[in-house]
């Protein structure tokens, strides 16, 4: 019998930082240098009654997730994929700070959508050593979910007693232990993550990951503000629109600025509302946005739209492919819009 047939199932826990691994210092909460041993011990105790083995790996250095950048989620995805290839775990748990957890989890849902191993992201509101900490409860929920989920299950967030679809979740409470919420369930009929496009071996490989920014319409906004928001030359923009996809299109220069920006980068509209979504066909101002080239983000969260756009940009899909894929439901992140 091969050794893999006799080996006990295992879970890979990949720690990236966040409050879960911090402790109080004179300068505030900061990464606890003893956390690697503490986590090893915690994970072993959670895994023992489940009959699974554990492997704990760490992102170096551990970060406060407020310091996550455009490469944080892709880097986690690369590290997890490499370890899954060699360790062949039954499930993967990623511990992460809560500040940008929903962004990373949404991006990972696309990056690791074809992994074939369940991925569950967790963290905590209180540090592991604090009284009443949610660290052990969240970690336990995440490990159980990762080893019990079916192999092709969509990426999830385990937090505050709930398991949430990663592409639908947002952090909605900065204090409560139930910090995350998913307003909508996974959209049915997900097509799956498409194969990466063929890219000519000779063509230049971008040296840095794509940066996707967000711009939120508020009543005082001018077209100059919108233009200034892309002054740092991001590769994509998510436009946080009013209601069902409206913006101040009567503002001097707004239509022209949007046209110009849409010619330079993909711009995706999402709603500022907590739930519902964008329908650029509904209002005249929405149609003007669409005519300028803005892509209808449907009912995607900001986090899912940004993660999906960054993922597709980094894979270097053509403009037309990217637009079509943004309108499609790949991993349950949106209700599809006919192109
Ligand atoms: N609760 C937390 O994890 C917040 C922390 N600032 C982080 O995101 O890393």
pLDDT tens digits, residue range 181-193? 999 999 999 999 9
Terminus-to-terminus CA distance in the chain, angstroms?
Answer: 52
Stretch among 37-46, 101-110, 197-206, 214-223 having the lowest mean pLDDT: 197-206
Ligand 1 centre distance from Cα of residue 158 (Å): 15
Amino acid 1: pLDDT: 42
Alpha helices in the chain (DSSP H): 3-6, 35-47, 72-87, 101-111, 135-148, 223-229, 254-264, 284-292, 302-314, 319-327
pLDDT at 2: 44
pLDDT of residue 204: 67
Is the predicted ipTM greater than 0.90, yes or no? yes
Residue 122 pairs in a beta bridge with 95
pLDDT for 339 equals: 56
For residue 198, what pLDDT band results from cuts at 50, 70 and 90?
Answer: confident
The residue whose CB lies within 8 Å of the most ligand 1 atoms, and thus the one to mutate among 16, 123, 179, is 123
pLDDT, tens only, 281-301? 999 999 999 999 999 999 999
Please tell me the CATH code under which domain 6-182 is placed: 3.40.50.1170
Give residue-wise pLDDT tens across range 8-67.
Answer: 899 999 999 999 999 999 999 999 999 999 999 999 999 999 999 999 999 999 999 999
> How confident is the model over 138-151, as a mean pLDDT?
97
Residue in 24, 65, 69, 124 to alter for ligand 1 test, most ligand atoms within 8 A of Cβ: 65
The segment(s) of the chain belonging to CATH 3.40.50.1170 are: 6-182
Per CATH, which fold does 212-327 belong to? Rossmann fold (3.40.50)
Distances 174 to 50, 136, 161 between C-alpha atoms, Å: 32, 19, 16
pLDDT of the residue at 287: 95
Q: Which residues carry out catalysis?
A: 19, 98
Count of CB atoms situated within 10 Å of the CB of 183: 15
The first and second tokens of residue 104, run together, are 């990373």
Q: Which two tokens stand for residue 12?
A: 């890979």
Q: How far is CA 141 from CA 115, 144, 313, in A?
A: 21, 5, 33
Cα-flanking dihedrals φ and ψ of residue 169, to 5°?
Answer: -95, 150
């Amino acid at each position: 019998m091969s050794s893999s047939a006799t080996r006990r199932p295992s879970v890979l826990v990949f720690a990236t930082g966040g409050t879960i691994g911090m402790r109080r210092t004179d300068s505030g909460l900061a990464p606890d240098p003893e956390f690697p041993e503490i986590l090893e011990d915690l994970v072993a105790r959670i895994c023992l009654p489940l009959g699974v083995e554990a492997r704990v790996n760490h992102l170096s250095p551990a970060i406060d997730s407020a310091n996550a950048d455009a490469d944080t989620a892709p880097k986690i995805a690369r590290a997890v994929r490499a370890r899954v290839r060699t360790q062949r775990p039954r499930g993967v748990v990623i511990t992460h700070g809560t500040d940008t957890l929903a962004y990373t989890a949404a991006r990972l849902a696309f990056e690791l959508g074809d992994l074939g191993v369940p991925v569950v992201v967790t963290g905590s509101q209180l540090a592991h050593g604090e009284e009443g900490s949610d660290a052990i409860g969240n970690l336990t929920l995440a490990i159980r979910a990762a080893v019990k989920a079916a192999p092709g299950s969509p990426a999830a967030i385990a937090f505050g007693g709930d398991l949430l679809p990663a592409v639908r979740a947002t952090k909605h409470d900065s204090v409560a232990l139930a910090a995350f919420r998913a307003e909508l369930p996974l959209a049915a009929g997900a097509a799956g993550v498409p194969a990466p496009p063929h890219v000519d071996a000779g063509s230049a490989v971008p040296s840095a990951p794509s940066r996707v920014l967000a711009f939120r319409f508020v009543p005082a906004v001018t077209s100059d503000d919108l233009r200034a928001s892309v002054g740092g030359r991001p590769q994509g923009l998510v436009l946080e629109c009013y209601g069902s996809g409206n913006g101040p299109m009567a503002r001097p220069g707004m239509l022209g600025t949007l046209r110009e920006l849409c010619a330079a980068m993909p711009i995706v509209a999402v709603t500022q509302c907590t739930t519902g979504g964008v329908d650029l066909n509904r209002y005249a101002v929405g149609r003007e946005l669409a005519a300028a080239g803005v892509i209808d983000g449907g009912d995607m969260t900001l986090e899912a739209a940004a993660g999906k756009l960054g993922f597709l940009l980094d894979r270097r899909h053509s403009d037309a492919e990217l637009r079509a894929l943004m309108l499609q439901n790949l991993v349950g992140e949106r209700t599809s819009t006919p192109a």
